[in-house]
């Protein structure tokens, strides 16, 4: 009897750990990072080992799980460029060239550590399955695997704060678990409208020793857009969405 009680007690304790639904947790992390449909401004800063910086300002809008577009507002040399992502499809529009061209998610339109899929990030749950969850102190460690071959990183290790359910660190890995880059989420800020999330995202990469890239987020707001905004034909008109 005593043994049965001990077993039952052990099971009762164990249930909360095994009951964590990985997919649900990842979805919650996504929602805590951003509303499903939103607009936001970002400043991207590439920092070289000697401290030299180059800055870009972007306006982004997203709808649902697979539609996102980003427009470059500065510097003048990049102004008017826009990138669109519709699921696994990505395009770049350069005003001078005058027509959108398909690009690949691993390319970088800005140079530096961030690539196109970092700039046009979809929900993690839309691109990755949770393979395993581990608990490490105040954090969950989610081991994610890409759902398809077209996703930029084959594997991801995501550390998330247990209370806030927000990511603190992400490692992007190849199929063979080689580290491509690390993202650090910093400086949690209240953006209003119930959006409380990191306002700074820093990244470094063993492939770019001494370099780092930083995203600073501003004016993240829930906003709905028509599906037609996320089309090739609309790309030259993204600026008209800004208020």
196 or 211: whose CB is closer to another protein?
211
Contact yes or no for 240/150 (Cβ under 8 A): no
Q: Is 191 helix (H, G, I), strand (E, B) or coil?
A: coil
CB-neighbour burial class of residue 96 (10 A; exposed 0-12, middle 13-18, buried 19+): exposed
**Residue 77 within binding range of another protein, rule CB under 8 A:** yes
Number of residues that bind another protein (CB under 8 A): 70
By CB under 8 A, residue 129 contacts another protein = no
- 45: its two tokens: 């800063």
- How far from the centroid of its chain's Cα atoms is residue 142's Cα? 15
Query: Given the structure tokens 């905004």, which residue do they identify?
Result: 229
Minimum Å distance from CB 104 to another protein?
5
- In this chain, which of 76, 136, 137, 163 binds another protein, going by CB under 8 A? 76
Q: Site for another protein (CB under 8 A): which residue of 6, 11, 17, 106?
A: 106
Q: Which two tokens stand for residue 69?
A: 């577009």
Shortest distance in whole angstroms from residue 212 CB to another protein: 10
DSSP state of 30: H
* Run of H or E residues at 149: none
Q: Where on the chain is the footprint of another protein (CB under 8 A)?
A: 41, 43, 45-48, 52, 54-55, 57, 59, 73-77, 79, 86-90, 94-99, 101-108, 111-112, 117, 149-152, 187, 199-200, 208-211, 214, 216-219, 225-234, 237, 239-240, 242-243
């Amino acid at each position: 009897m005593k043994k049965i009680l001990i077993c039952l007690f052990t099971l009762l304790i164990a249930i909360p750990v095994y009951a964590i639904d990985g997919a649900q947790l990842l979805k919650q992390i996504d929602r805590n990072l951003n509303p499903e449909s939103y607009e936001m401004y970002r400043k991207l800063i590439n920092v070289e080992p000697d401290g030299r910086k180059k800055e870009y300002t972007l306006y982004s809008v997203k709808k649902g799980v697979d539609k996102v577009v980003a427009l470059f507002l500065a510097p003048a040399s990049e102004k008017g460029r826009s990138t669109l992502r519709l699921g696994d499809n990505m395009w770049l529009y350069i005003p001078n060239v005058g027509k959108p061209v398909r690009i690949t998610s691993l390319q970088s339109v800005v140079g530096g550590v961030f690539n196109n899929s970092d700039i046009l990030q979809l929900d993690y749950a839309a691109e990755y399955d949770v393979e395993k969850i581990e608990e490490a102190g105040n954090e969950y460690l989610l081991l994610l695997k890409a759902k398809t071959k077209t996703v930029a990183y084959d594997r991801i290790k995501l550390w998330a704060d247990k209370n806030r359910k927000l990511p603190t660190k992400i490692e992007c890995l190849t199929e063979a678990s080689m580290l491509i880059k690390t993202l650090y989420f910093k400086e949690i800020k209240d953006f209003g409208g119930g959006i409380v999330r990191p306002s700074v995202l820093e990244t470094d990469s063993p492939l770019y020793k001494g370099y780092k890239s930083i995203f600073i987020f501003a004016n993240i707001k829930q906003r709905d857009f028509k599906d037609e905004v996320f089309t090739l034909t609309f790309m030259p008109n993204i600026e008209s969405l800004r208020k």
